[in-house]
Structure 1
Amino acid sequence: MTAKVRGSAFRLALLGAVGTAVLAGGCASGGDGPTGRALAGGESCASVKQQLNRLDARGVPSSVQAQAAGKKLSPQQKADADLYNRLLNDYLGARCHV
């Protein structure tokens, strides 16, 4: 499997697992309703998705997987993995995937 396919498969699996929790949590909290929470700093769903796609193309999901497995990462890999996780949380929290 290529890195791009593995990264996409990982992201889809993560979207499925985390998305269900985010949707259930968002509905239960009575927060912002069906639109989810607002994105910070003038970001839009499209801009967050574009950033995620760029990180995906660079192979960052493999760093996210390594970080989750407790493997040692370089400072740059850790920063990229943290950014990817933040963007993914923002994307899901804002319900951009719906």
Structure 2
Amino acid sequence: MAGGCASDGGGGPSTKALANGETCSSVKQQLSRLDAKGVPASVQAQAAGKKISAAQKADADLYNRLLNDYLGARCHV
């Protein structure tokens, strides 16, 4: 087994532990729900410096956190 790799309970290799008992599957489900709500457009608008509502900002911040967690835990591998 390679050093630093561990299972996250979702079957995938992990380099960064997911918080609060989350699994790769649960994070992916949350990202999918946010995708369906159109949150990536808010993320892009926020990154471009455009004004977005407080609710859109909260969703965009959550999306960014989840995406960072998903990628950091190597769920995509």
Report the TM-score, using the length of structure 1 for normalisation. Answer: 0.66
Per-residue CA deviations over 1:6-57 (Å, capped at 9, x if unaligned) read xxxxxxxxxxxxxxxxxxxxxxxx8x34621110000000000000000000
More helix by share: 1
The reply on whether 1:84 has 2:58 as its aligned counterpart is: no
2:50 aligned with 1:64, yes or no? no
Higher strand share: 2
Please show how residues 1-80 of structure 1 align to structure 2 within 5 Å.
32-33=4-5, 35-80=14-59
TM-score, normalization by structure 2? 0.84
* Distance in 2 separating the partners of 1:69 and 1:37: 29
Q: Match for 1:72: what amino acid?
A: K
How many pairs are equivalent? 68
